[in-house]
Amino acid sequence: MLTAKLSIAQNKIVVFQTDFGLKDGAVSEMKGVAMGVSPDLKLFDLTHEIPAYNIWEAAYRLEQSVRYWPAGTVIVSVVDPGVGTSRKSVVLKTKSGHFIVTPDNGTLTLVAQSLGIDEIREIDENVNRRQDSKKSFTFHGRDVYGYTAARLAAGVITYEQVGPLVPKQVVSIPFQQAVLDGSTVKGDIPVLDVQYGNVWTNIPDTLFNRLNPHVGDIVHVSIYHKHQLVYKGEMPYCQTFGTVAEGKPLAYINSLLQLSFALNMGDFAKEYHVSSGNDWSVEASLK
Amino acid sequence: MLTAKLSIAQNKIVVFQTDFGLKDGAVSEMKGVAMGVSPDLKLFDLTHEIPAYNIWEAAYRLEQSVRYWPAGTVIVSVVDPGVGTSRKSVVLKTKSGHFIVTPDNGTLTLVAQSLGIDEIREIDENVNRRQDSKKSFTFHGRDVYGYTAARLAAGVITYEQVGPLVPKQVVSIPFQQAVLDGSTVKGDIPVLDVQYGNVWTNIPDTLFNRLNPHVGDIVHVSIYHKHQLVYKGEMPYCQTFGTVAEGKPLAYINSLLQLSFALNMGDFAKEYHVSSGNDWSVEASLK
Amino acid sequence: MLTAKLSIAQNKIVVFQTDFGLKDGAVSEMKGVAMGVSPDLKLFDLTHEIPAYNIWEAAYRLEQSVRYWPAGTVIVSVVDPGVGTSRKSVVLKTKSGHFIVTPDNGTLTLVAQSLGIDEIREIDENVNRRQDSKKSFTFHGRDVYGYTAARLAAGVITYEQVGPLVPKQVVSIPFQQAVLDGSTVKGDIPVLDVQYGNVWTNIPDTLFNRLNPHVGDIVHVSIYHKHQLVYKGEMPYCQTFGTVAEGKPLAYINSLLQLSFALNMGDFAKEYHVSSGNDWSVEASLK
């Protein structure tokens, strides 16, 4: 069955991300099809709890975690409100050696920028589509994306056999880049750390460090939704949550090395009605 | 440890379905026991979010996804409100070559019909029960079903060693079959596409096609709960969600090739208070 | 890459428990790092739905399920409100041959007692920390615990190479031990069987049996929260739920062989406002 040689990169690992949830059989169907392609594949999940149709969050979760998988891993992301329309189905090969199989609908906005585009190929559905699936118009996740990912990861097809090369550009969702404006850093809130209610920004430590912050310094923070002030306050810059009292706010650098805000043992987002997305912005400065 | 030869079918894959949820250690216990049987097994999940005690939904999820796993896969389904009572514990071998390990309490209603019954064996608990589990009366999922599934999948036992053959019939839950009545198709709503709120019927495309529908045709839809009208409306027959405006209804054939209703980018079930089960029925006709 | 020989115990299986939830990429990052250590590892989940910061529940879930995994399994538990503070990071080797990688913050309270302490080693973060992770102060789960667990399970390091031996004692959360007081058994409610609303106590069958109960005997049950009576009632002692009518209470021995209370086809905890934790206690006696 495995007739093509593995490219240098493929490592038989497939990681799935969707907005399908875990309550029905959809994720299982994708994995069943993959195991039918090759029983040697190793299948993992990124998350299946992307809010329905939320392409921005799909993009962010890829940005957050793809880099921690070994080079050669094939990641499938199916958040696809335009299923069946003319959006392209592609496989991005990043400069880091990861393969991302997805509709090109904005899902690649962040990883294309951070990991870099080595090549993009459009999936040729004449070849890379599960047999007997022609009658079904709506489960591309199983019949095209998951199937192609499994075949690529297993070496049944080479990367070249995915389909034709397309220009090195992806559909991008506009978003507020992080900037330094005088003595203030500005950015957006790409996502919440939902489990704990921590507020994560897109402001990298390297930018924040240009304010020359020291542990214990007081940070002034303003948070806006559609340019309306939602939160204004000050908090110490900390390396550990436990250095402030329970329920007190702190600023810190999160595990993605970006400026973040939290309440020790509490839920900052819930307490101050802060959410995430392109229409949320942040300003921070030192006292 | 692996002394029996693998039957033609077993492929070392075990897929678990339960109503245990993912919040406690129950699913992990089942998998730990399976890995103790053989470290070569490959363990997957169908879902663990079947609503507690909902045998009908367990039956439907099997119907939805078993066929996508390779022949020889062992699927364990434990939704077992009658645990410890006299319901039989069985392994169904389908004509498609899948093994389904489950209490025979209605869970097999749909797959027995669609995939066909090759043989059914009753689990002989004198042999196929985890050692030292005799004192425990309530975790058959781990000690009988999961354990037997792991031993069968790994080839520790043959299918014949599961236990004695029993008649080729399963406990069945009554449900409304899909029918054509004049120029109207009728059926039920076996399940919702919960993540998106789409309404799935049991009316196959082959039956609906006898109305000779064309893309763009207007479909009249009535939905009843216990014979009371809950929804009445019309919507175009579409191949893709994106062909109607956001928030507008459409009729389509879902990935199981059954007639379904949705709101583009919305939640049809929530908007119109539609749920699923045997007491929900549907009628559809073309204008 | 694999230079050290596997200790007798390690079996390449890693099981993850956290309070991260499944909505973001955190669990996936841990698994990606582990697969980068060795593609031969087999990765599983205990649960990721421990309530945020709830060390007691983390301790209980370990107690519930570790014993069902084969000896040699490496279990990682990261519920770590004190991340970045001076709590020790350790690997407990139990007398049962399991390795538990965790902050020593109470998580080991129950397994240290039930499975026994063979040795405890403190993780030497100079060696056992993911490269390039020095700038990140808050994701020890990925960079220290998951990374060390993967290296230990894969045999990249021996157990001795985890770090120095420390005294055979763990940080313990105080809790009410189960006792027999005259003709009454007393205990606490360490956890609920959340999916079904069953109330589990820490009273083992061996203790309850000293009351000489027979199936069908009536059990008097009182449940207290902070010494205030919350529930008082009587129910038969049963081996199966189905022996009482739907909605009726019963006492039974659960799959952990501990005295428990349930409503057949109902939710005891919800119906009577019962929760779990150290401040909940139970008394039971026979009529």
Q: Which chains are within 8 Å of A by 3+ CB pairs?
A: B, C
The tokens describing B39, both together, are 């470290």
- What does the pLDDT average to over B52-66? 93
Residue indicated by tokens 């987002």: A269
Predicted confidence at residue C1, as pLDDT, reads: 37
Q: Which secondary-structure segment (H or E) carries A286?
A: strand A277-286
Predicted confidence at residue A131, as pLDDT, reads: 82
DSSP 8-state symbol, C54: -
Q: Give the strands of the sheet with A258-263, arranged side by side.
A: A191-193, A198-204, A258-263, A249-253
Which residues on neighbouring strands pair with residue C277, listed in sequence order? C189
Which residues on neighbouring strands pair with residue C218, listed in sequence order? C236
CA gap A246, A254 in Å, rounded = 19
Taking 70 as the threshold, does the pLDDT of residue B50 lie above it?
A: yes
Fold of B2-166: Rossmann fold (3.40.50)
Helices vs strands, H then E, count in chain A:
7, 16
Taking 50 as the threshold, does the pLDDT of residue B2 lie above it?
A: no
Contacts of A48 in chain C (CB under 8 A): 22
Cβ of A36 within 8 Å of Cβ of B70? The answer is yes
| B78-97 tens-digit pLDDT | 999 876 667 899 999 999 99
Please tell me if residue C68 touches chain B, with a CB cutoff of 8 Å. Answer: yes
Cβ of B138 within 8 Å of Cβ of C253? The answer is yes
**What DSSP line would sit under A90-121, residue for residue?**
EEEEETTS-EEEEESSSTTHHHHHHT-EEEEE
- Model confidence band, residue B191 (pLDDT cutoffs 50, 70, 90): confident
Cβ of B24 within 8 Å of Cβ of C195? The answer is yes
Backbone angles phi, psi at A144, to 5 degrees: -115, -60
CA atoms within 13 A on the CB side of C117: 18
Predicted confidence at residue A135, as pLDDT, reads: 61
Name the residue ranges covered by the structural domains of chain C. 2-166, 179-286
CA gap A272, B55 in Å, rounded = 42
Which of C76, C85, C100, C225 is closest to C159 using CA atoms? C100
Percent of chain A with pLDDT over 70: 94
Please tell me if residue B1 touches chain C, with a CB cutoff of 8 Å. Answer: no
Residue ranges in chain C modelled with pLDDT below 50:
1-5, 7
CA gap A250, A241 in Å, rounded = 7
The tokens describing B88, both together, are 């039989």
Contacts of residue A54, defined as CB under 8 A and 6 or more positions apart, other chains included, come to A19, A79
Nearest neighbour of A241 by CB, restricted to C36, C83, C142: C83
Predicted confidence at residue B3, as pLDDT, reads: 41
| B230-270 tens-digit pLDDT | 999 999 999 988 889 999 999 999 888 899 999 999 999 99
- What CATH architecture applies to the domain A179-286? Beta Barrel (2.40)
Q: Which secondary-structure segment (H or E) carries A152?
A: helix A147-154
Taking 60 as the threshold, does the pLDDT of residue A185 lie above it?
A: yes
**Is the distance from CB of C36 to CB of A70 less than 8 angstroms?**
yes
Contacts of A257 in chain C (CB under 8 A): 135-136
| A9-48 tens-digit pLDDT | 689 999 999 999 999 999 999 999 999 999 999 999 999 9
Predicted confidence at residue B175, as pLDDT, reads: 82
Taking 90 as the threshold, does the pLDDT of residue A198 lie above it?
A: yes
CA gap A247, A263 in Å, rounded = 5
Taking the CB of residue C265, how many other CB atoms lie within 10 A of it?
16
Predicted confidence at residue C137, as pLDDT, reads: 55
Please tell me if residue C45 touches chain B, with a CB cutoff of 8 Å. Answer: yes
- Model confidence band, residue B138 (pLDDT cutoffs 50, 70, 90): low
For residue C188, count CB atoms less than 10 angstroms from its CB and return exposed for 0-12, middle for 13-18, buried for 19 or more.
buried
Neighbour-count burial for B104-118, b at 16+ CB within 10 Å, e otherwise: bbbbbbbbbeebebb
**What is the average pLDDT value for chain B, to the nearest integer?**
92
Predicted confidence at residue A139, as pLDDT, reads: 84
* A152 to chain B, closest Cα gap in Å: 19
| A200-234 tens-digit pLDDT | 999 999 999 999 999 999 999 999 999 999 999 99
Predicted confidence at residue C2, as pLDDT, reads: 42
The tokens describing C216, both together, are 């069908």
Percent of chain B with pLDDT over 90: 79
